[in-house]
Structure 1
């Protein structure tokens, strides 16, 4: 639905349809996965009051440019896409006259510029006066772990808050461990609860490799019921 914030939405899938010989259940510009909506909100989300995480940090949230109008260009399908569709999205954005392109996608190791659709598409956009902002990727912090490093783009990485939501667990021998938790529910200090490592609580599904960071789709709820679940924070190398 187009409104005063989202003023356009287009999708590109001809190459995907041709090479994969299939059509998509979401044959539209709708965001099935949610990643595009998330990154869009970070870049240009409106002011929203009364935002908190389980009552913590209550206040007003917004994207970096809350007054900007946005257009959505969808070129990836089922976590997959083809260069031709990505380049078609770039060319459409250029023709539409947008000012800034936020491109939150990329591979593990960027290929040479002349073989990389993101580098080629962003260079065309740059020559037409557009500012292109690309994601640095999800790897690191290690040398050579940054994706999308063409000199004509602005490469950005994620950050975090300047504070922690500290919580404590006291073991049966009275050893106290400090961790981070934003749980809304407290536990009785008069009872003992078993600890379980997230990697031992993984579900039997393709996403179980993410269990150690407690991705909700990777944890078997039956294994953690009545226990304290221990998770690693963040994903890096």
Structure 2
């Protein structure tokens, strides 16, 4: 069984986000980039399934600029068998990425797609669901446990009220939550081996996908700074301020 794992190159989660002076977007100049943390979990889960003998091949896919090959090499070092880069300098939005991934799925014929539930740069949480809809496949989102057996995936997912268990027939799309696993560190020998693993490059036009942006970003601003707190002398003063100044009661 082949598993396809989409991975995205994003701003490293330890880096403080800076907004461009003109408000047109986030300043990525000379900023440290890396693999989206939720996608690392997806790669780890796919590799574990392979190690358990459930999966025969793990294919990592990234859509974006040429530098996205870096995160593919990271996925290969974790344990993916080969990588595919769909190279584009366009501003790829969730629907465009989902269409590109569908085209790759049509070429590769995987039985399962495991992807992070969202990317930490836009927090859209849309691509996995859109991909499942475009493919007409089953989907299970926010997975905290995945079991594959007898042509179906049993997925424990986190919901507001607790945990929900779903059984979905393959082929399917699964999106990963934080508690699914803890990704391993890529060892130096595996990093060296990853350089020899195959990495193919495709382009949206060759896949027959129009990636023109459908949404326009009007302005990007930093969150407003929180005002300093104050100390009140008693409950009566607290209630008075909440009522007359903050106006929450």
TM over 0.5: no
Is the strand fraction higher in 1 or 2? 2
TM-score (norm 2): 0.30
Structure (1 or 2) with the greater helix fraction: 2
Q: Which has the higher contact order (CA 8 A, sep 6+)?
A: 2
